[in-house]
A and B are shown apart, each in its own frame.
Chain A
């Protein structure tokens, strides 16, 4: 439960954020997030893990400004956010690439929206296409790319707007196991080059430990932050580091936190 509080001015500071959904069928208000506070320091990579449906993605959407919280505040560099902004960029689980745009056009999309001229947007986009390892595929259309390559383009598009904060919503969840491991490594390499402040939502505990500086563990719905585990493992981490006892201890610790969670839910539902 360490470091729930923030330093003087954190990069991202979410304080006491709650979100309720209105179920249209029953007209009931269902709490999705309850009093979530989380900080991300500049240049820090924070992963969020939690049981399915705990509101991880909801939290990310709130930070992105796509969803308005019912209570609480979100500050980026100390400034409250109001709606989606150019200072944050989201990487989606489904690559969400525009099928009518080439890789280059897709990566340049965010820049074009910001009014950067076409030539300038393209030259900047190329830089990030190279960074994510898609050089040579600038003129390919998304349907011509594999799942892993689509996610590279997706990542490049988010990086190209040079966001203050990178939001990753299970970006590797749709990939097959082998590609996923490879892409985890790639994600680390790219992040170590750019050193963005980043928030990653993932289902995989190992992925969280592998990539993050800190892992926030969330509880069942309504989602709350149960614990924040610092991962003080040296970088670059590799497949060998995952066999390191320290890595496995951290993994087990998070596992236990999540398992306790599901046990307590099972118990309470039995009582209820």
Chain B
């Protein structure tokens, strides 16, 4: 008797004391909790609908089927496909950064070079890069080369154009300040133009990642002998929906990871942005 009364008293003490702090805990993680709840509900419905016979698993698959497919794939060449896609992505994207950033700096700084290159850049930028795939395959074959090229072409333009814009949007008062201290053009370039283009460059990289992933997947779907896109294409045409979903999740996860990393980096450099830009 005594024990239960003690317990009751203590729970009372907790309930009179804790709710506010528990509520605060909820408030603190509200976003995360709601997001997790949303995902869990979605997965549950997705699993339930085919199980209840309401939809055809051939079309919708289901989380458990996808997991099984992923396990099977992991034992049957998935790592090789990941490796191929990752190679294409990293080589193509790195080349885009190595060419795009310096070229963007150059075009942002020298107006005449910008005038020369602008028509080409605008034209290539507005053309969907995958439209060039037949040409690239013709020139480079169906191996790594054509995929690296399409990734490169996809990523370079957002990078190039953002860096150029960044070099050209210099805070007017900072420019006046630098000039009043007698800064020469070279010094304005290094102490003002380059640092203020950093946040723009990061935006360019973030957009470039998305474009590069499109290049990887479409390139492999059109013509290749391996890679995630190739695996998905084969699975899709043989009605193996589960495997297609494995590919979708791999690409979505990879893209999400890199983009949120760049997002975080971008926010850190937010204060570097010129005012009003």
Point out residues on A near B: beta carbons under 8 Å. 64-66, 84-86, 88-90, 92, 94, 96, 98-100, 109-110, 112-114, 141, 143, 161, 167
Does B272 contact A109, Cβ atoms closer than 8 Å?
Answer: no
Does B176 contact A66, Cβ atoms closer than 8 Å?
Answer: yes
Contacts of A98 in B (CB 8 A): 174, 191-192, 195
Does A90 contact B183, Cβ atoms closer than 8 Å?
Answer: no
Does A113 contact B174, Cβ atoms closer than 8 Å?
Answer: no
Does A84 contact B179, Cβ atoms closer than 8 Å?
Answer: yes
Does B177 contact A100, Cβ atoms closer than 8 Å?
Answer: no
Contacts of B183 in A (CB 8 A): 113
Give the A-B contact count at a CB cut-off of 8 A.
51
Contacts of A113 in B (CB 8 A): 178, 181-183, 187, 191
Does A109 contact B181, Cβ atoms closer than 8 Å?
Answer: yes
**How many whole Å from B198's CB to the nearest CB in chain A?**
8
Does A90 contact B177, Cβ atoms closer than 8 Å?
Answer: yes
Point out residues on B near A: beta carbons under 8 Å. 171, 173-174, 176-183, 187, 191-192, 195, 198, 271-272
Residue of A nearest to B173 (CB): A96
Question: CA A88 – CA B182 in complex, angstroms?
Answer: 9
Identify B195's interface contact among A86, A89, A92, A100, CB under 8 A: A100
Residue of B nearest to A141 (CB): B271
6 A-B contact pairs sorted by A residue (CB < 8 Å): A92-B173, A92-B177, A96-B176, A98-B195, A109-B181, A113-B183
Does A64 contact B180, Cβ atoms closer than 8 Å?
Answer: yes
Does A96 contact B271, Cβ atoms closer than 8 Å?
Answer: no
Contacts of A64 in B (CB 8 A): 180
Does A96 contact B181, Cβ atoms closer than 8 Å?
Answer: no
Question: CA A183 – CA B161 in complex, angstroms?
Answer: 44
Given known contacts A96-B174, A143-B271, A66 and B180 CB-to-CB distance under 8 angstroms: yes
Given known contacts A98-B195, A109-B191, A113-B187, A90 and B272 CB-to-CB distance under 8 angstroms: no
Does A88 contact B180, Cβ atoms closer than 8 Å?
Answer: yes
Residue of A nearest to B184 (CB): A113
**How many whole Å from A58's CB to the nearest CB in chain B?**
13
Question: CA A65 – CA B191 in complex, angstroms?
Answer: 20
Contacts of A112 in B (CB 8 A): 191
Given known contacts A98-B195, A100-B195, A109-B191, A89 and B180 CB-to-CB distance under 8 angstroms: yes
Given known contacts A100-B272, A143-B271, A84 and B174 CB-to-CB distance under 8 angstroms: no
Q: What 9 pairs between A and B have smallest CB-CB spacing?
A: A90-B180, A96-B177, A96-B173, A110-B181, A100-B195, A99-B271, A143-B271, A84-B182, A86-B182
Identify A89's interface contact among B181, B187, B271, CB under 8 A: B181
**How many whole Å from A268's CB to the nearest CB in chain B?**
34
**How many whole Å from A41's CB to the nearest CB in chain B?**
23
Does B179 contact A66, Cβ atoms closer than 8 Å?
Answer: yes
Does A84 contact B195, Cβ atoms closer than 8 Å?
Answer: no
Does A99 contact B272, Cβ atoms closer than 8 Å?
Answer: yes
Known: A84-B179, A84-B180, A90-B176. 7 other contacts (CB 8 A): A88-B180, A96-B176, A99-B271, A113-B181, A113-B187, A114-B182, A167-B180
Residue of B nearest to A64 (CB): B180
**How many whole Å from A261's CB to the nearest CB in chain B?**
28
**How many whole Å from A34's CB to the nearest CB in chain B?**
24
**How many whole Å from B172's CB to the nearest CB in chain A?**
9
Residue of B nearest to A112 (CB): B191
**How many whole Å from B200's CB to the nearest CB in chain A?**
13
Contacts of A143 in B (CB 8 A): 271
Contacts of A85 in B (CB 8 A): 182
Contacts of A110 in B (CB 8 A): 181
Question: CA A167 – CA B180 in complex, angstroms?
Answer: 10
Contacts of B195 in A (CB 8 A): 98, 100
Residue of A nearest to B192 (CB): A98
Question: CA A64 – CA B195 in complex, angstroms?
Answer: 25
**How many whole Å from A269's CB to the nearest CB in chain B?**
32
Question: CA A113 – CA B177 in complex, angstroms?
Answer: 12
Contacts of B171 in A (CB 8 A): 96
Contacts of A161 in B (CB 8 A): 181
Contacts of B271 in A (CB 8 A): 99, 141, 143
Question: CA A65 – CA B180 in complex, angstroms?
Answer: 7
**How many whole Å from A121's CB to the nearest CB in chain B?**
12
Residue of A nearest to B171 (CB): A96
**How many whole Å from A18's CB to the nearest CB in chain B?**
22
